[in-house]
Amino acid sequence: MNKALFAGLFALSVTAANALIAKAAPKPNIVVFLADDHSIRDSTVYGATDVRTPNMQRISATGMTFNEAFVASPSCAPSRAALLTGLMPARNGAEPNHAKPRADIKKLPAYLHEQGYEVVAIGKVAHYAQVKDYGFDYVSNFEYHDDTCIDAATKYLKERTSKKPLAFFVGTNWPHVPWPKDGSGYQPNAIKLPQSQVDTPQTRQWRTRYYAAVTKFDNDLGQIYDAARAKLGPNTFFLQSSDHGAQWPFGKWNCYDEGIHVPLIVSWPGVIKASTRTDAMVSWVDILPTLIEVAGGKSPKNIDGRSFLPVLRDPKQKLRDRIFTTHSGDGNMNVYPMRSVRTDKWKYILNLHPEFSYTTHIDRGAKNEPENYWNSWEAATATSTRASTIVDRYHQRPAEELYDLAADPDELNNLAAQPAYAQTKNGLRRELEEWMTAQGDKRTVFGTPRLLTDKDEVPSPKLVGNALTVTCKVTPDSPTSSGVILAQGGNRQGYALYLETGKPMFVVRQGGQIYTAASLTTITGAFSLEAHLEKDGAMTLAIDGKIVARGKAPGAFKAQPAEELSIGQDTFVAVGDYTAPYPLKGKVENVKIDAA
């Protein structure tokens, strides 16, 4: 046999052997389980002793726990969009909360389809109904706090008959608010409060409610992990993380570690050594390329994410030495854009508009909830210098913040103004601004900010048993402008005023049903709007003092809406027949609401 023939036969035999090996090694199933608003410090895996997370502990014991995992943005929609695109917010288009990535961007399900996977999402995987736009083969139970999603996910697994490898994404709604009404066995006096919090009895009571929500998340995690192992077997890659920190002051909606530092645990029997930990620094944008490589593909070259599959095989491997984070806001409740860069030792935060008052649902919603812990913080400022300092720090931020994370892990001592740290600050600022330029970050302000000099805002009225009158001035951007003028409530109880292609609408929702008084007239220029709901349910809508529409609801509200008032958009769950937040293309002024 000549050498050329032998070489050719040898090459063919190697190719055939490789094909047989590939055929004999089935692709792993992939399960990704996402928590909603869970801070890393509130897990026994990461050292907590006053909260119960036994299922996180159990899964950690089977795989690898990441000590330094971070999200791309500390609010729901941008964080999840970054995971599902591998791109940072400015590049994918989902910058403020409720925004979604551009339609032309290739998303994670498409990459996994190319590897032969069936790709399914149940629960809060993307930002609620936005999940329908990501290209999953099947989605369900994605509405706001649909807590039947875990039962739906386990049922789907049990009944599944497809032979394709499965990429299964499950999102619990816990520990996102509203938290359980009681602390479910947690004792207020045993709670360890972060140093950034004001220690009041109300804070401790609400902390027990948050911990009860954390335990609900952990129970959901255990159910999905067990169901996945039972149905899919040991050749299953299981990843668990959280979209950002908890809804506490200095957590969610912040670039402090309480907002961006999250749990990340990965289990893959036979590949990842049990009970290992790594200090490799990773970002949520790194999850997409990692899953693609786990599925047998190659990491895309035009994304921000980097695969951490090498880290899973060797926990001593490094991936990043910098974490960049952006936050742009959450409707009109939180208009406070900020950017940050973090190393293993330093955190630098750039607050783009220090003249804005920092606000969120936490403080603005508390005005309508007398028992809310935030009200106890404000009351404590009258007698406590520490409480006053914390509340002032919450609302009023400097342009720059610099923290030595080794000496000050709670990020309480801002070093930005100290000359001794000027070189470090200036270097990190330069890095951050160069990165922002490369990202195409336009520093856009989304929503209408509250200035530090603004007067108190309009409180949400108490609606139960009362007649309602709403007046305001509206200036649309154009005669065909659309969007929410104001809204209070959600998909069970509430009311809203909005424009639909220039036509004013007044809607009341009671018991889940919508009742409407709709104008048929398109308005040009600025106008005054007045809406009435009488105790007998009669609805009227007037423009510049003239009644233009009538409607009929069952009567006055029998239950107070859970969601507070928002102006210029519907920040929470949609009251009317539109998709929240549906921001108004125009300006709203002189809002007055009476309920009596």
| 559-593 pLDDT tens trace | 888 777 888 988 768 999 998 889 898 999 999 99
Q: Which helix (H) or strand (E) holds 154?
A: helix 149-159
What CATH class does 338-439 carry? alpha beta
pLDDT digits (tens, 9 = 90+) for 301-339: 999 999 999 999 999 999 999 999 999 999 888 999 999
Give the integer Cα–Cα distance in Å for 296 and 303: 18
- What is the token pair recorded at 591? 């809002």
Give the integer Cα–Cα distance in Å for 495 and 540: 13
pLDDT digits (tens, 9 = 90+) for 397-436: 999 999 999 999 999 999 999 999 999 999 999 999 999 9
Residues 6+ apart with CB under 8 A from 168: 29, 30, 31, 32, 120, 122, 153, 157, 228
**What pLDDT score was predicted for residue 168?**
98
Please tell us whether the domain made up of 468-595 is placed in CATH 3.30.413.10: no
Q: How confident is the model at residue 359 (pLDDT cuts 50, 70, 90)?
A: very high
- pTM of this structure: 0.82
Among 94-108, 217-231, 270-284, 453-467, which stretch is predicted with the lowest mean pLDDT? 453-467
pLDDT digits (tens, 9 = 90+) for 1-54: 554 544 454 444 444 444 444 454 799 999 999 999 999 999 999 999 999 999
Instruction: Decide whether 26-327 matches 468-595 in CATH topology.
Output: no
Give the integer Cα–Cα distance in Å for 377 and 365: 14
**What pLDDT score was predicted for residue 368?**
62
Q: How confident is the model at residue 596 (pLDDT cuts 50, 70, 90)?
A: confident
Cβ–Cβ under 8 Å, residues 319 and 67: no
In 3-state terms, what secondary structure has residue 307? coil
Domain ranges of the chain: 26-327, 338-439, 468-595
CATH superfamily of 26-327: Alkaline Phosphatase, subunit A (3.40.720.10)
Give the integer Cα–Cα distance in Å for 457 and 474: 17
- What is the token pair recorded at 555? 């009567």
Do β-strands 138-140 and 118-123 pair in parallel, antiparallel, or remain unpaired? parallel
Region 91-100: what's the mean pLDDT? 96
